[in-house]
Structure 1
Amino acid sequence: MRSEHASIPAPEPRVIPRDSHPVSRKDISSSALRVLYRLRDAGFDGYLVGGAVRDLIVGGHPKDFDIATNATPEEVRHLFRNCRLIGRRFRLAHVVFGREIIEVATFRANVDDGSGDREVHDGGRLLRDNVYGTIEEDAVRRDFTVNALYYAIEDFSVRDYVGGFEDAQNRLMRLIGDPETRYREDPVRMLRAVRLAAKLGFEIEAATAEPIPRLAGLLAEAAPARLFEECLKLFLSGHAVESFLRLEKHGLLPVLLPESAQALKANRSGALRRMLLEGLRGTDERVANDEPVSPAFLFALLLWPAYCRALATLQAQGMHAVEAQRRAADRVTVHQLQTIALPRRFSLPMQEIWLLQTRFSLRQRKRVFRLLSHPRFRAAFDFLSIRQAASPEHAEDIAFWREAQTQSGDELAAQLDAQASAPDDDDLDADGAPRRRRRRRRNRAG
């Protein structure tokens, strides 16, 4: 079946010689170089392609190295004993070197002459694409120009078929072909445009950006599991704040996180947005310091505005506070699952982080020690600290629990006992002396 962007003509390559680009073999994975050299020695064409070339050109440090070749997946597997074939939508070869995987893809064509394997949905969405072709055809079917750059091992040049080298120098994200058609083929490309622009500090070219708000609703057609993975890439790659701001700017936030977007819009003080951005800044800092960030904590942050709004609605209806908290947590989770497939191993801890927030104001000895021993205590306390960005009223609780974590059990118990025995202001008379309380007689059971 013919793809809608098949009319893009095969371009003439621009060859950028070694002395005119910054890509160097010393910055390329040794495993990727081994694959490139073996393909060449076996008589095949092989190129480093995509994000690795793009990142090296703009001074980045790629973690993944992908290769494009005219060898079929079966021919690649024949060359490498440490190779496995994966994928249905895109048939790929993975060459495994310990913990590193080098992904090898065969050049793909735009037009299916009947010999290949392509399936396109009626709306234009590409369901399967295993039609092999030339490097020129492969270049024009890639998504963005900066991802269609090929590094050749035989002469160390960069081959550019669609103007990607110039766009990289100008820091522009530009789709290859007609933007609306390309987004309809795969709506997740809208999220990729935002994510890559946020990561690289690029601007999305005007014609590439224009259809995004109009076509944002197409994301509802994407698999929820795939959108979950895209969210992790958006917010756990060290550019969470910039990704969030760009999702807002291009009208994608109401589709991806609909109830949180509504809550943020309704929150006139901006407190919820300040808190969310503060949390995302902390996430970026942790990623920069190679510290882990749990998806449960991330989604607790992203969906907190929705939870607060749902909780306020239920309490306004007269529901008891504890029941309203549980209902609100469940309601927000179930509604969000319609868009993003949040696994239970993350959604349940996310809800615990929310539900523990009300327990930080309690000072009874048993409750304090019980909360300190809770497996989700540390995450919930970090979340409370982030809430300080929205409201200063949490300062006293934060100070108490921060100190409680540094004390021994005996020290903390003594402090709590002293506080429990100390009279409150309500128990003092006008001169500051303790009031004498009248003793109540207990009713004895008959």
Structure 2
Amino acid sequence: MIKGITRYIRKRLGKAPVQPVAKLQILPRSEHPISRSEIPEGALKVLYRLHKAGFQAYLVGGCIRDRLLGKTPKDFDVATDATPEQVNHLFRNSRMIGRRFRIVHVRFGREIIEVTTFRGQANEDESKHLRQSDEGMLLRDNVWGNIEEDALRRDFTINALYYNVADFAIHDFTGGLEDLKSRTLRLIGDPDTRYREDPVRMLRAVRFAAKLGFHLDPATEAPIREQASLLLQVAPARMFDEVLKLFLAGHALDTFRLLKDYGLFAFLFPASAEAFKVNPTSLKLVEQALINTDQRIADERPVTPAFLYAALLWPGLELIYSDLLKNGVPPFPAMQQAGNRLLQRQQQHITIPKRFAFPMREIWDLQLKLPQRHGKRAWELLHQPRFRAAYDFLLLRETAGEATDGLAEWWTRFQDTDEAGQQRLLENLGKSPARSKTANRKRGPRRRRKPADTGSSS
């Protein structure tokens, strides 16, 4: 069987040197900590129904890896020899999704169990189910196989561990158990080819290395810097979710530093990467935002993608905004134009959905409005829907070393005091030297503008 698997890898992954295939290792129930009492009821229902219907059924991937590392798994995925159609027929509460990789989601209330069919090697008759780009990227892969082939199609050895519902043993076809012990992240097959098949694997390598505290195997690490530009081939819509996975796993700062080190960040946020070279303070802002993100996740508090993206893109926005100001564009139009230019460029790399892009831009716009506190404006700003996010962003800017002239402290005091205290804070604004000079100027009579005829009945 092992010789057959080796032949499969060489044929599937090309003529490049291939790491030796590990001998199948089976870890019986008595030698591992995974108990059925720890597996969600929905996952058990899927496993047992598939098994009773005569199909093979395994828990696979991160849930096995994390449990063996002493962590609490979040997602429980199932692999089987049943086709997506057969799985969909077995479960009324399921639906097939995806074209590039067809899978089945089985829903139990809010819980979703992802079920994948073992993938294998395409022969001539099945070539229509497998498509690759000229660069080697997999565009469609719906060729079914057996568990041995499926293990070799997975990305990293530590993610190719299978828990068998038939005997509760763990099956390891690629040496993943040994790599868990040595805390090594190793790609299955030739790394150069595997990254070309799916460039997102480079991001996954960085994410797992940061999340698990593992080191990259030298062969796995070697091609990343050279192949970082392959990320440009990935659909921008897909990249949005991948970036959230990178920065919302609780290790955002470590992930960011690895992305910069391997040259990957510049292909995700090119304008920000350029701004770091011009303005080092902007790098501090992003790092502080990621430190805050990690802390919120550790405290089990929510993190909004709009705020995260607002921080990640702010350095590039500031650079464009400053250039527009130098060219004589007034502040508010300059902010609008800078946002338009930045997002037009950014959407070529990562598509940010409108439900996040709009509040992100509101956070940016409010950075110009927060200094305007006179009269009723302070109370009006306080009741803006995005005020709290904008205020938090102002604090972030000040913490990173941006000059805000004590604006964040003023807004903090304004929120923490009563109405009388708020009135005193507003009155004190009028006593500042800058305010006094403008207040003592004599203003000419205001001319009433004649309303323009817009042709609108309203």
TM-score (norm 1): 0.90
- Relative distance call for 1:363 and 1:122 in structure 2 (3 A) is closer
Instruction: Answer yes or no: is 1:298 the counterpart of 2:298.
Output: no
Q: Which deviates further from its counterpart, 311-320 or 294-303?
A: 311-320
Q: Deviations over 1:350-382 (max 9, x none)?
A: 122122213333331222122112111110110
Partner residue in 1 for 2:174 = 162
Partner residue in 1 for 2:34 = 23
Alignment of 1:258-337 (within 5 A): 258-267=270-279, 270-337=280-347
Long gaps (5+) in structure 1: 429-436
Alignment of 1:161-240 (within 5 A): 161-240=173-252
Q: Deviations over 1:364-410 (max 9, x none)?
A: 12221221121111101101111122226437212211121123445
- Relative distance call for 1:440 and 1:259 in structure 2 (3 A) is closer
- Tell me how far apart the structure 1 counterparts of residues 36 and 343 of structure 2 sit (CA, whole Å): 47
Query: What is the Cα deviation at residue 56 of structure 1?
Result: 0.9
Counterpart of 2:57 (choices 46, 49, 57) is 46
Q: Which deviates further from its counterpart, 45-54 or 116-125?
A: 116-125
- Tell me how far apart the structure 2 counterparts of residues 129 and 443 of structure 1 sit (CA, whole Å): 74
- Tell me how far apart the structure 2 counterparts of residues 87 and 442 of structure 1 sit (CA, whole Å): 67
Instruction: Answer yes or no: is 1:69 the counterpart of 2:80.
Output: yes
Contact 2:23 2:173 in 1 (8 A): yes
- Tell me how far apart the structure 2 counterparts of residues 427 and 388 of structure 1 sit (CA, whole Å): 26
Q: Which deviates further from its counterpart, 173-182 or 14-23?
A: 14-23
Query: What is the Cα deviation at residue 13 of structure 1?
Result: 1.5
Instruction: Answer yes or no: is 1:92 the counterpart of 2:114.
Output: no
- Tell me how far apart the structure 2 counterparts of residues 363 and 141 of structure 1 sit (CA, whole Å): 59
Q: Deviations over 1:194-247 (max 9, x none)?
A: 112212121221111111111111111110000111011111222211110110
- Could you say what secondary structure the match of 1:405 adopts? helix
Query: What is the Cα deviation at residue 175 of structure 1?
Result: 0.7
Letter in 2 for 1:5: L
- Relative distance call for 1:40 and 1:335 in structure 2 (3 A) is same
- Could you say what secondary structure the match of 1:264 adopts? helix
Q: Deviations over 1:79-134 (max 9, x none)?
A: 22222222211221222111111111111102334146222222211111111111
- Could you say what secondary structure the match of 2:13 adopts? coil
Query: What is the Cα deviation at residue 35 of structure 1?
Result: 1.5
Partner residue in 2 for 1:407 = 417
Instruction: Answer yes or no: is 1:357 the counterpart of 2:367.
Output: yes
Question: How many aligned positions are there?
Answer: 432
Query: What is the Cα deviation at residue 180 of structure 1?
Result: 0.8
- Could you say what secondary structure the match of 1:403 adopts? helix
Contact 1:4 1:181 in 2 (8 A): no
Identity of aligned residues (%): 49
- Tell me how far apart the structure 2 counterparts of residues 124 and 347 of structure 1 sit (CA, whole Å): 33
Letter in 1 for 2:183: R
Contact 1:53 1:150 in 2 (8 A): yes
- Relative distance call for 1:211 and 1:401 in structure 2 (3 A) is same
Instruction: Answer yes or no: is 1:348 the counterpart of 2:363.
Output: no
- Tell me how far apart the structure 2 counterparts of residues 220 and 426 of structure 1 sit (CA, whole Å): 50
Contact 1:10 1:137 in 2 (8 A): no
Counterpart of 1:108 (choices 116, 119, 137) is 119
- Relative distance call for 1:178 and 1:418 in structure 2 (3 A) is closer
- Tell me how far apart the structure 2 counterparts of residues 441 and 76 of structure 1 sit (CA, whole Å): 78
Partner residue in 2 for 1:398 = 408
- Relative distance call for 1:352 and 1:3 in structure 2 (3 A) is farther
Query: What is the Cα deviation at residue 24 of structure 1?
Result: 2.3
Contact 2:228 2:267 in 1 (8 A): yes
Contact 1:110 1:141 in 2 (8 A): no
- Could you say what secondary structure the match of 1:105 adopts? strand
**Cα RMSD, aligned residues only:** 2.5
Partner residue in 2 for 1:432 = none
Q: Deviations over 1:36-76 (max 9, x none)?
A: 12222222211100111111111121111111111122222
Contact 1:365 1:417 in 2 (8 A): no
- Relative distance call for 1:217 and 1:68 in structure 2 (3 A) is same
- Could you say what secondary structure the match of 1:356 adopts? helix
Letter in 2 for 1:321: P
Letter in 1 for 2:56: D
Instruction: Answer yes or no: is 1:5 the counterpart of 2:17.
Output: no
Partner residue in 2 for 1:127 = 139
- Tell me how far apart the structure 2 counterparts of residues 426 and 161 of structure 1 sit (CA, whole Å): 73
- Could you say what secondary structure the match of 2:399 adopts? coil
Q: Which deviates further from its counterpart, 319-328 or 300-309?
A: 319-328
Contact 1:6 1:111 in 2 (8 A): no
Partner residue in 1 for 2:455 = none
Query: What is the Cα deviation at residue 145 of structure 1?
Result: 0.7
- Tell me how far apart the structure 1 counterparts of residues 195 and 373 of structure 2 sit (CA, whole Å): 54
Long gaps (5+) in structure 2: 1-9, 448-458
